[in-house]
Amino acid sequence: MTKCSGAHAPVLKHAARYGRREVFVGSCLCGLREGMHNDDDRGLGNPFRRMWCNFDGVHCRLPRRICVQRFMSDADRIPSSLKCWLTLSRLLQPLIHLGARRLHNRQGLDSERFSERLGRATAARGEGQLIWIHAASLGEISQAAGLLDALEKTRGVRLIVTTMTLAGADWAAKNLPAVPHQYLPLDTPRAVGGFLDHWSPDLAMFIEADIWPRLVMESAARKIPLVLINARPSKSRDRAPKFYGYLLSQFCAITCKSAQVLEGLRALGLAREKLHYFGDLRASVPALRVDALAATTLSRAIADRPVWIAASSHAADEAQILSACKTVGEQHPEALLIWAPRHPKRAPDILEAASDLVVHSRSKLEPITPRTQIYLADTFGELGTLFSCSKIVFLGGSFGSEGGHNPYEPANFGCYMITGPHVRNHRDAFEAFIRAGAAETVPDAPHLAQRVSQLIEARDADARGANAHALVAAGNEAAPKTLALLLATLRADHADHN
């Protein structure tokens, strides 16, 4: 390694203690470079030639405007698919930014906030240690509500939250009003670099699965500790084990929502000491919010009619739910289905498919009448209110490929749960509820209709649902143990830099 003198020496010492074999220091201000091969010598065809600082360099975290560059000795083991991603996202950067702008506008998002996708911050960082929390959308960020609340109250720690969607942004604005929210930067060199330069987090926490290659690798290259919490099963990991195995190897700690997930990550070659199983973080989430006035209004409209809920449905669930609804209606003409699709934009398709039934829509402020057969709850953020109105719940995302949805949400309300056969994202949780007599799986629409009819006739859904509530009340220590892990990681990193 070329020796460095003068003002660069302390920085070089700082970089060298991380065990890099070849390091050079170059001032971003004066352009001096030491201990580095000339770019031309490396060849324009080399995909690592300054295309991204994890391969060609890394920003030193102490002197913010000094670059510490390394040549990675293990570049050959980087999966070719990851090299391809990084190369294409660099070469196609202008097109990616243009396409993202059009998509941003098409989704009806605030056009003034598109700059956040390009890595240009719209909020100040502030002083002190900063934890960056990323969640894809509403489902991911809401499961960490208790954890985020505890982090926000931790002395000397500041938070920044990123999401991909408006629903996630709205949740953050409502539940964490003092915490700045930004849309996640695009996975391009300019956007990722701008985001990390401004926020310079001391710890990055990703929830469940939404990890982006350049963002992860650049963060790791800058020595930002990475933690993945409540990791769930992933088809992407199954399809590309080398790609994700290498990405996840950059994380210093991963908590898993089940023992099954932990074993799957071990099979990717991840070190066992990085992996932790504290239980499913969703079990520690407080019950969903209930609008007392809306719940009372709904209960009065339902009166003494038998009612069941189809919650968080996707397109693949819709035909099954509709068929079951018709069968239940033939056996119990007074029965009412409250149908809450996962994405309200599915409402037009549901209305068209159910055109031969009496359907009233919540988004249109249509009331439930004695003739209503389906009450379409095509709104956001009202599942808690709906769960308070029935003890029989079918959870969607389980007849298609989505992998099921969070059973702890209805369980908090003492609901008896029915699900389709495909619940890989929550298999351990469903197995626990099934063992407790609080849930069951059905293979198709006829069996769904049969079980709903039997529960209506037996009038024992309340007692069965009580088992679900008791299991949640017994709880687990996922949230406090995850909090302890995060703070320990933050303290260890702080000690390393002092």
Helix (H, G, I), strand (E, B) or coil at 319: helix
Q: Which of 75, 92, 107 is the last residue in one of the domains?
A: 75
Please state the separation of Cα 211 from the chain's center in Å: 9
Answer yes or no: do 222 and 116 share one domain: yes
> What pLDDT, on a 0 to 100 scale, did the predictor assign at position 66?
31
Answer yes or no: do 97 and 217 share one domain: yes
Answer yes or no: do 445 and 486 share one domain: no
Task: Write the CA distances from 158 to 132, 139, 148, 206, 317, integer angstroms.
Answer: 9, 23, 11, 16, 41
Q: CA 87, 90, 96: angle at the middle one, nearest 5? A: 120
Answer yes or no: do 315 and 346 share one domain: yes
The total of structural domains in the chain comes to 3
Answer yes or no: is 287 within a domain: no
Answer yes or no: do 139 and 34 share one domain: no
> What pLDDT, on a 0 to 100 scale, did the predictor assign at position 472?
86
The one-character DSSP state at 476 is -
Answer yes or no: do 189 and 43 share one domain: no
Residue 469 phi, psi dihedral angles, 5° rounding:
-65, -40
Answer yes or no: do 213 and 313 share one domain: no
Answer yes or no: do 420 and 297 share one domain: yes
Give one DSSP letter per residue of 191-216, joined into a string. Answer: HHHHHHHHH--SEEEEETT---HHHH
Task: Write the CA distances from 329 to 119, 372, 374, integer angstroms.
Answer: 53, 11, 10
Q: Which domain holds residue 463?
A: 292-474
Q: 25 forms bridges with which residues in the sheet?
A: 68
Task: Write the CA distances from 359 to 37, 367, 377, integer angstroms.
Answer: 70, 10, 10
The one-character DSSP state at 237 is H
Per-residue confidence in pLDDT tens, the chain, 498 aa: 333 333 333 333 333 333 333 333 332 322 323 333 333 333 333 333 333 333 333 333 333 333 333 334 455 578 899 999 999 999 999 999 999 999 998 888 888 899 999 999 999 998 889 999 999 988 888 888 889 989 999 988 999 999 998 989 999 999 999 999 999 999 999 999 999 999 999 999 999 988 999 999 999 999 999 999 999 888 888 889 999 999 999 999 999 988 889 999 999 999 999 999 988 888 887 888 999 999 999 999 999 999 999 999 999 999 999 999 999 999 999 999 999 999 999 999 999 999 999 999 999 999 999 999 999 999 998 999 999 999 999 999 999 999 999 899 999 999 999 999 999 888 888 998 999 999 999 999 999 999 999 999 999 999 999 999 988 876 667 888 999 999 999 988 767 766
Answer yes or no: is 446 within a domain: yes
> What pLDDT, on a 0 to 100 scale, did the predictor assign at position 145?
86
Torsion of CA 434, 435, 437, 441, to 10 degrees: 20
Answer yes or no: do 383 and 410 share one domain: yes
Answer yes or no: do 213 and 332 share one domain: no
Q: Which of 50, 75, 100 is the last residue in one of the domains?
A: 75
Spatial contact of 8 and 25, defined as CB atoms under 8 Å apart: yes
Q: Which of 34, 58, 75 is the last residue in one of the domains?
A: 75
> What pLDDT, on a 0 to 100 scale, did the predictor assign at position 471?
86
CATH number for the domain including 155?
Answer: 3.40.50.11720
Indicate the burial class of 65 (C-beta count within 10 angstroms; 0-12, 13-18, 19 or more): exposed
Answer yes or no: do 189 and 307 share one domain: no
Answer yes or no: is 286 within a domain: no
> What pLDDT, on a 0 to 100 scale, did the predictor assign at position 14?
35
Answer yes or no: do 212 and 89 share one domain: yes
Spatial contact of 39 and 49, defined as CB atoms under 8 Å apart: yes
Catalytic positions: 140
Q: 231 forms bridges with which residues in the sheet?
A: 256
Distance, in Å, from the CA atom of 141 to the CA atom of 133, rounded to the nearest integer, reads 9
Answer yes or no: is 204 within a domain: yes
Query: What letters, b where the CB count within 10 A reaches 16 and e where it falls short, cover 339-365?
Result: bbbbebebbeebeeebeeeebbbbeee
Answer yes or no: is 49 within a domain: yes
Residue 228, C-beta contacts closer than 8 angstroms, at least 6 positions apart:
205, 206, 208, 211, 248, 251, 253, 254, 255
Distance, in Å, from the CA atom of 57 to the CA atom of 70, rounded to the nearest integer, reads 5
Alpha-helical runs (H) found in 342-390:
347-353, 383-387
> What pLDDT, on a 0 to 100 scale, did the predictor assign at position 143?
83
What's this model's pTM, rounded to 2 decimal places? 0.66
Answer yes or no: is 1 within a domain: no
